[in-house]
Amino acid sequence: MSGPAEIIEQLAKQATRLTSPCGEGQMVWHRWDNLHGSQPPLVLLHGGFGSWTHWARAIPLLSKHYDVITADLPGLGDSSDAPEPHTPGGLAAIVSAGLDHILPADHPFHLAGFSFGGMLGSIVAATQQQRCRTFTAVGASGFGDLHYIVEGIRLPDPDMNEAEIVELHRSNLKLLMFANARSSDDLAVFIHRNNVSRARIRSRRLSVSDALVRALPQISARIGGIWGELDVTGGGVDKISARAEMFRDLQPDAPFDVINGAGHWVMYEAENRFSEALLHQLDRRKSVS
């Protein structure tokens, strides 16, 4: 059986690596081509302190139906640093320009963004207008007071041994990302630890902005949402429902799925139910996109 590093390496090898300008360097993208259809590609934006690997469990499921394109957001993963000051609009502009760089000018796409990537994705969707067919927010930030900041996240001390570092990351995952402790398996710890070690943008202060709320009315794409029922950043079922109402005030038929028993990192903790929900949402919106 393959270990976590081998699983991620094998998944990356199945993709085409693409780049676009980012500050003085480059933004890194990965693309998995689906050979059985001609749908617009599905672009996935990861969360704060993350990389494309936030989507590792969902990619094999989603790529059966769509070409899947993932980004390493500016200052995260393998992408270069973004020019300062770091703002939602400035970071989203780099992502939007990156899509213009890696896709033909007249090529439409679907867009889904997780957490911090959901906030940036809302601005990208508004910027791209008709070219963005659908926008799906996944446990997204950018809701101002509705977004709950989780306290108690710790970084490893220099004198910690390997076992203590692993246990610390498991604890952090349980606090922020997962509803169930058993979800903090070896692959999740590997992904999280590797991503945190490469993060150069401190996204938490940006996540409490209302950038997504302000972008939503400007989006011409069909919008929708997917949240884990027990997502601690969601602030509880009532606040998650308030987000759904916000979407439906703009588009009354906007789909909004809440995955029972799942936490913030819903596409890892409940990858099958998440992927089914996203694919169903995309299918529902085809006729009106």
pLDDT of residue 205: 80
The pLDDT assigned to 1 comes to 64
Q: What does the pLDDT read at residue 247?
A: 98
pLDDT beneath 50, residues of the chain? 289
Question: How far is it, in rounded angstroms, from Cα 246 to Cα 23?
Answer: 34
- 49 by DSSP, 3-state: which? coil
Q: With contact defined as beta carbons under 8 Å apart, do 143 and 223 qualify? A: no
Structure confidence by residue, pLDDT tens digits, 205-235: 888 899 999 999 999 999 999 999 999 999 9
Kindly report the three-state secondary structure assignment for every residue of 107-162: CCEEEEEECHHHHHHHHHHHHHHHHEEEEEEECCCCCHHHCCCCCCCCCCCCCCCH
0.95 surpassed by pTM: yes
pLDDT for 289 equals 45
Beta bridge partners of 22: 25
CATH 3.90.45.10 fits 4-286, yes or no: no
Handedness of CA 171, 177, 181, 186 (dihedral sign): negative
